[in-house]
Amino acid sequence: MFLFGPSKRFCPVSRFFPAMAIILTCLYPMGQARGSAFSIAELGARAAGMGTAFTAVADDGSAMVYNPAGIAFQPGMRLQMDNLVVVGFFHFFPLAPPFGTVVPEKGFNGSIRPKFIAVGSMYASQQISDRLTVGFGVFAPFGLADNFTNFNDSDPPLTKYPGRFAGTRARLESIWFQPTFAYRVTPNSSFAVGPALVFTHLFLEQSILNPLDDALEFGREAANDVFPGVDKELAARSIARLLPEGRARIAGTSKSPGISAGYLYKHPRGVINLGLMYRSAVTHHLQGKASFAFNKGYTLESFVGADLLPKAFPNQKIRGAFTTPATYGFGLSTSALGNTTLSADFHFQDYRRFSSVPLNFSETEAKNPDVRTPAEERLIFDFRDSFQIAVGFEKRHGNMALRGGYLYDRTPVVDKSVGPLFPDANRHSATVGLSMRAGNKEFTVFYEAMQMVNRTTNVAGNVKQFTNGEYRNFVHLAGMGLRFILGPQ
Amino acid sequence: MRKNLLALIGLLLSWHPGLLSAQAQQTRKLDTTSFVVLGEGLAAGMANYGLNEVVQRKSFPAQIAQQMNTAFPQPLIQGPGLGDVLGYPPSPVSLPNYLQGSVRVFPSQPVKNDEAPTLFVFNLSVPNFRLTDSLNRRPVSPLIHNDDSQQTAINMILGFPSLILEREVPLWTQLEYARAMAPTMALVELGYFDVLAAAVAGNPGLIPDPASFRAAYATIVRGLRELQTEVVVTTIPDPMDTAYFSSPASATRLMRVPDSVIAEFYGINPQDFITPKGLSAIGNQFIRRQIEPLPPDVILRGAVGSDISNRVRALNAQISAVASEQGAVLYDLAGFFNRIRTTGLRVGSSAITGDYFGGFYSLDGYYPGATGQALIANEILGLLNRTYGESFPLLDLGPILHEDAVSKFAPARAPEESPFELQRPSSSGIEDEIALP
């Protein structure tokens, strides 16, 4: 009887998990991104203690992230494991929610549960000769996790997070498996390259059938059946309110190639060290599955049949693609101040590559007249390029080292894309760290306080998604690292 | 410092809850996406002895919806319509022959013979609906009840096409139906039939007691408010303010006879009321020049009328209290009907009064015609504009008045006719002639 239109705003993700990814789930990055948008900068405890200003330092296994050329200066065998715990506080105060919305006193909470998640990295290197050192790193330079689901599907609409139609939960893990080859060009300089295989898992969830947006398409298609003789648009608005809310869940994975490269120059007396690094953009061709569910007991259900919406939105395979940005890093450091190292970094990420995410559904109306998922749906984000400026220091005293740093991160998320998937803002971070060495083992801890600048958005195009408002976020990060130095120190 | 303190005290003293509530009301937002009406004959648009699509299209809720530019599907009824009329004999339930009609109007479609009824309606008003009916009465199969015209009306309005669909679908009461439509805005016009029925029967005891009335009314308003619906409630017009109950003064204006004649011939006091049947009987007697005692049910004594008015005021106090406690907006429809009765209105150069044939009430005497409905619509639109800061345009009453047959009703006698000579039976059998000035 009714021909309902398609819904929008689904992301493609596959449900297939490679075995390696399962084994290495302890390495996935969680919590809201620490770097820009979904970048993660704190992939080494020693580096993080210095505000991540490590490009021209790169003197441990995490060099494979910050500057692969650094492993060329690390003799013997090195094994290193780093772990990061993120505790994020994300609060959203909507600007103009639906009248009567119950807004919690501290805003809507976007923190994941449990509140802290561990992120791990692993590095190993082996000097082969005076000039050649090889390494292998497993790390996650991109990751994302938030959860604005403060409700059950059957709860009254006005008690639910109002931006739920733009997203409720998101999770991204992009893990690099990177063998690295570093060559000592001169006694004071080295060059490295690290081809990588990138495993990515993406999960997205959002509510669908927004009465002000995608449900209107259903309303227009059903207008002549439900309210004949009534203006189509007016009828559609009323019909949209008679539909249930639904949830779309999309999960998928991909395997893609990537590459890192680096150059490091170290002055013989440490007066000035210079580092350059590059990590390639990676296009992730995801394959996965989309699933849909709808509330029961809505007004139209008994009139149109309980199976109409499940038939219109069948669970199905889905494909999609998105590109993580390339990273370009430049760093300077000096160790000429006795036992103190000072460093400064500038990183640039071409996030403008993340402009849109096309989603391709496998079930379409062309194959089955009951289906309403489109052949392609494109999510528009239009990110801008971002950069980070970091300064740090390390002061060594005997077997201990004290570190500190500051990091400024310019967000790539433009106003129109700020929402439950990317509640991002420019960030100021202060870091402290401490290492203690015993024999050939070194234990490191660090803490970072990340204050995201309070951000208020008011984009006309987001009014119906109810994502306009104030975003107040703060993140605690803490981590530890353990490295084994086998062979010459 | 002292000046600042005095200024602060002055500011505090100038604040009062009413001001705050008015400000709070101004900031309330009105979403007109889904506008439903819970009412009885008045909100259904009933007029001139029945409910049919001609009068339904002119109902004040339909005209409000038109000005708000919101969808408002109605259960349009083909002529001659349905609904028993208070004070008149009930009509039998008569099903039209096939091809003669379908009772409910099917909106025309681009493809001929593809017409279908609207699946849902937003004007849920049912003629002769009492307040408790809104909570308790629901459609019952079969569609047509030959022995129950009220159930048939409920079926045709709240149960069509549900009762004839080849699916098991819910059959809602008026309140359940309203809630199912997920309304953003609702108007409640209930209670008028409750008091009209009591007044027409001349029995004030039939008017619900305030406590039970309030409980039922609050259930309805709460049932809508908990969906975050903006609710407008109307007070109940006093039947004594309607043309169904004409004062002797109004009757003399209508029949152009001195009020002393009315008083002397029929023993009607200035505070008493005359029904349309009574007006018709008196008028016929004048034409036939034969004065006879009037039928017993055409005069309502003043004391009974006062009792009814007091009870209506008591019910309106309950409506006002429910509106206040539930955060609904109150429109004083009773006050408007009283204004029509006492002072009348002018629409252009035309005077609109509450008299029978005064241009406001239709032939039944208690439901307004198209102009009256439009006047009510403008009143409520004005209230919405003030309360919510909206700017809904008001109706242009001139064209409506021009096309409204009710405004053209006039008594049969022309003003230039000479007074009738009347005869009345006397105890001596001698006919007396009474010359009228």
DSSP string, A275-337: EEEEE--EEEEEEEEEEEEE-SS-TTHHHH-TTHHHHHS--EEEEEEEEEPPEEEEEEEEEEE
State yes or no: pLDDT of A23 exceeds 70: no
Q: What angle do CA A173, A179, A180 make, to 5 degrees?
A: 120
| Chain B contact set for A228 (CB, 8 A) | 106-107, 109, 115-118
- Of A281 and B431, more confident: A281
Q: How confident is the model at residue B94 (pLDDT cuts 50, 70, 90)?
A: low
Q: How confident is the model at residue A391 (pLDDT cuts 50, 70, 90)?
A: very high
Helix (H, G, I), strand (E, B) or coil at A463: helix
Residues B141, B164: Cα–Cα separation, whole Å = 9
Residue type, A94: P
**Would an 8 Å CB–CB cutoff place A228 in contact with chain B?**
yes
Query: What is the mean predicted confidence (pLDDT) over B267-294?
Result: 88
Quickly list H helices, A193-231. 214-226
Q: With an 8 Å Cβ cutoff, are A230 and B118 in contact? A: yes
Average pLDDT of every residue of chain B: 86
- Of B143 and A34, more confident: B143
Compare CB distances from B167 to A100, A234, A303 and report the shortest one's residue: A303
Q: B333-350 pLDDT, tens per residue?
A: 999 999 999 999 999 899
Strands in B184-272 per DSSP E: 185-189, 230-234
State yes or no: pLDDT of A225 exceeds 60: yes
Q: How confident is the model at residue B5 (pLDDT cuts 50, 70, 90)?
A: low
The answer to whether A261 touches A68, Cβ cutoff 8 Å, is: yes
Residue A357 dihedral angles phi and psi, to the nearest 5°: -125, 110
User: Is there a domain that residue A195 lies in?
Assistant: yes
Please choose, from the candidates B309, B47, B399, B34, the residue with its C-alpha nearest in 3D space to the C-alpha of residue A230: B34
Q: How confident is the model at residue B91 (pLDDT cuts 50, 70, 90)?
A: confident
What pLDDT score does B213 carry? 98
The distance of B296 to chain A (nearest Cα, Å) reads 49
The answer to whether B123 touches B43, Cβ cutoff 8 Å, is: yes
Residues A87, A109: Cα–Cα separation, whole Å = 13
Residues 142-181 of B with CB under 8 A from A: 165, 167-170, 180-181
Q: What domain count does chain A have? A: 1
- Which residue shows structure tokens 């002000």? A212
What pLDDT score does A10 carry? 26
CA distance readout (Å), A205 to A126, A169, A213, A291: 43, 5, 17, 10
**Would an 8 Å CB–CB cutoff place B410 in contact with chain A?**
no
Query: CATH number of the domain that A130 lies in?
Result: 2.40.160.60
State yes or no: pLDDT of B89 exceeds 80: no
Q: B38-73 pLDDT, tens per residue?
A: 999 999 999 988 899 999 999 999 999 999 999 999
Residue A311 dihedral angles phi and psi, to the nearest 5°: -70, -35
User: Is there a domain that residue A238 lies in?
Assistant: no
Strand A340-349 and strand A427-438: the pairing is unpaired
User: Is there a domain that residue A232 lies in?
Assistant: no
Q: With an 8 Å Cβ cutoff, are B115 and A228 in contact? A: yes
- Which residue shows structure tokens 């929008």? A8
The distance of A297 to chain B (nearest Cα, Å) reads 10
**Cβ atoms within 10 A of the Cβ of A129, count?**
8
Query: What is the mean predicted confidence (pLDDT) over B280-288?
Result: 85
What pLDDT score does B111 carry? 63
Q: With an 8 Å Cβ cutoff, are A228 and B33 in contact? A: no
User: Is there a domain that residue A43 lies in?
Assistant: yes
What pLDDT score does B427 carry? 47
Range of the domain at A248: 13-209+244-486
User: Is there a domain that residue A214 lies in?
Assistant: no
Q: How many residues does chain B have?
A: 437
| Chain A contact set for B34 (CB, 8 A) | 237-238, 241
Q: With an 8 Å Cβ cutoff, are A227 and B73 in contact? A: yes
Query: What is the mean predicted confidence (pLDDT) over A301-316?
Result: 94
Residues 77-106 of B with CB under 8 A from A: 106
- Of A63 and B1, more confident: A63
What pLDDT score does A154 carry? 77
Query: What is the mean predicted confidence (pLDDT) over A472-479?
Result: 94
State yes or no: pLDDT of A274 exceeds 90: yes
Q: What percent of chain A has pLDDT over 70?
A: 92
Compare CB distances from B116 to A158, A228, A235 and report the shortest one's residue: A228
CA quadruple B30, B32, B36, B37: dihedral sign: positive
Q: How confident is the model at residue B410 (pLDDT cuts 50, 70, 90)?
A: confident
The distance of B348 to chain A (nearest Cα, Å) reads 32
Most B CBs within 10 A among A210, A238, A300, hence the mutation to make, goes to A238
- Which residue shows structure tokens 């390029």? A385
* Contacts of residue A476, Cβ cutoff 8 Å, sequence gap at least 6: A86, A87, A88, A447, A448, A449, A450
Q: How confident is the model at residue A7 (pLDDT cuts 50, 70, 90)?
A: very low
The answer to whether B186 touches B178, Cβ cutoff 8 Å, is: yes
* Contacts of residue B100, Cβ cutoff 8 Å, sequence gap at least 6: none
| Chain B contact set for A158 (CB, 8 A) | 228
CA distance readout (Å), A233 to A217, A364, B36, B85, B237: 10, 25, 18, 37, 36
**Would an 8 Å CB–CB cutoff place B118 in contact with chain A?**
yes
User: Is there a domain that residue A239 lies in?
Assistant: no
Helix (H, G, I), strand (E, B) or coil at A194: strand
Residue type, B27: T
Residues 216-275 of B with CB under 8 A from A: 228
Helix (H, G, I), strand (E, B) or coil at B435: coil
- Which residue shows structure tokens 């992939």? A43
* Start-to-end CA span in chain B (Å): 81
What pLDDT score does A338 carry? 86
Query: What is the mean predicted confidence (pLDDT) over B368-375?
Result: 97
- Which residue shows structure tokens 């791990």? A120
| Chain B contact set for A242 (CB, 8 A) | 120, 180-182
User: Is there a domain that residue A262 lies in?
Assistant: yes
Cβ-count burial of B360 within 10 angstroms (0-12 exposed, 13-18 middle, 19+ buried)?
buried
DSSP B174: H
Residues A376, A183: Cα–Cα separation, whole Å = 46
User: Is there a domain that residue A236 lies in?
Assistant: no
What pLDDT score does A330 carry? 98
State yes or no: pLDDT of A30 exceeds 50: no
Q: How confident is the model at residue B326 (pLDDT cuts 50, 70, 90)?
A: very high
Q: With an 8 Å Cβ cutoff, are B109 and A227 in contact? A: no
- Of A115 and B402, more confident: B402
Residues A44, A59: Cα–Cα separation, whole Å = 11
Span of A93-102, B208-217, B325-334, B416-425 with lowest mean pLDDT? B416-425
Average pLDDT of every residue of chain A: 89
